Amino acid sequence: MDIFIQQLINGLTLGAVYAVVALGYTMVYGIIQLINFAHGEVVMIGAMVAFTVINALAGSGLPPLVVVLIGAGCAIPVCVLVGYTMERLAYRPLRRAPRLAPLITAIGVSIILQHLAMLVWSRNVLAFPQIIDIKLYTIAGAVITNVQVVIILTCIVIMAALAALVYRTRLGTAMRATAQNPQVAGLMGIDIDRVIAATFAIGAGLAAVAGVMVGTYYGIAQYTMGSILGLKAFTAAVLGGIGNVPGAMLGGVLMGVVEALGAGYIGSYTDLCKISGISDWLTQRCANDGHFVLFGSNYQDVFAFVVLILVLVFRPSGLLGERVGDRA
């Protein structure tokens, strides 16, 4: 049981981060029906900027928390700038183009950002300075670290703040209006360009926070880290119903938990030696080794995508997604 709780804690931490990144995908998609594949790279840039700042300040004697906050404080504006520039240069000129054009552009932007980061920060795996004094807390036999607690709490606060922004403020109302019908929203006096730019900027800011969290949690950053993280967060957004803000949160958390439990238990359940009686060959093989695992925990990444396929087959619009007619 304590192992199960431990996997749940691992999954929740991971899921909280996915959720924050997924929000960026879902908000942009909700407004302009664009899957911004470069969003994962923005997370990476956030982690990289934070790395540079934290590395520079590590020896300054400031308290670790302050150093990390300054790191995040530098990463957010940089990422917001990247997000805004991306929208302004790569997507706005293509707003009236067929939907495939901005999608391909997004992939291009992702590659450009990745290689820019490689030029700036090198190909090497960068080690975050270990400044945070990690404390372990035990709950029902499972261990949770202070960093994990902070990550989960931060994500909850961010999600609550974003929900408040979308559902309680003028900007949020404008965003929702634009999402429903950009033309009509424009006729109502909403500056659509500004709303879209703001959406990109907010998404990028969230990505920056996620980048800092991932960086400090794992202690490493690399120029390729954004792609798989982005892909999983995108999957989480689709799982929850892309374009739906609470859906992205639910999808992210679910994704993290499924991944952790999957990786933790798949090996034991696909150990063919448990059914070694069915064939002589297998019995012999198991007598030698004792384990014959069909799918090991290296299938962790595959899990996420199996879940995605299942959801898309049985509920194409995602868990919380509304069944909408074709917008075009």
Q: Does 125 bind other proteins (CB under 8 A)?
A: yes
- Residue from 167, 218, 269, 305 in contact with other proteins (CB under 8 A): 218
Contact letters (x/-) for other proteins, 188-217, by CB under 8 A?
--------------------------x---
Structure tokens of 85? Answer: 């520039």
User: Segment near other proteins (CB under 8 A), from 184-192, 194-202, 221-229, 276-284?
Assistant: 221-229
Structure tokens of 199? Answer: 């959406």
Candidates 89, 67, 118; CA nearest to 226 is: 118
283-288-289-295 Cα dihedral, nearest 10 degrees: -40
How far apart are CB 134 and other proteins at their closest, in Å?
Answer: 6
Three-class SS state of 167: helix
- Residue from 85, 169, 268, 283 in contact with other proteins (CB under 8 A): 268
Q: Does 231 bind other proteins (CB under 8 A)?
A: no
List helix spans (H) across the chain: 2-32, 39-57, 64-86, 100-121, 146-168, 170-180, 182-187, 192-218, 225-240, 245-269, 280-289, 300-314
Q: Does 271 bind other proteins (CB under 8 A)?
A: yes
Which residue's CB is nearer to other proteins, number 200 or number 217?
Answer: 217
In eight-state DSSP terms, residue 144 is: E
Number of shown-chain residues binding other proteins (CB under 8 A):
41
Q: Are 237 and 25 in contact (CB under 8 A)?
A: yes
User: Segment near other proteins (CB under 8 A), from 79-87, 151-159, 286-294, 305-313?
Assistant: 286-294
194-196-197-202 Cα dihedral, nearest 10 degrees: 120
Positions 135 through 164 that interact with other proteins (CB under 8 A):
136, 138, 143, 145
Binding site for other proteins (CB under 8 A): 2-3, 6-7, 10-11, 14, 125, 127, 130, 134, 136, 138, 143, 145, 214, 218-220, 222, 224-225, 228, 259-265, 267-268, 271, 290-291, 293, 296-298, 300-301
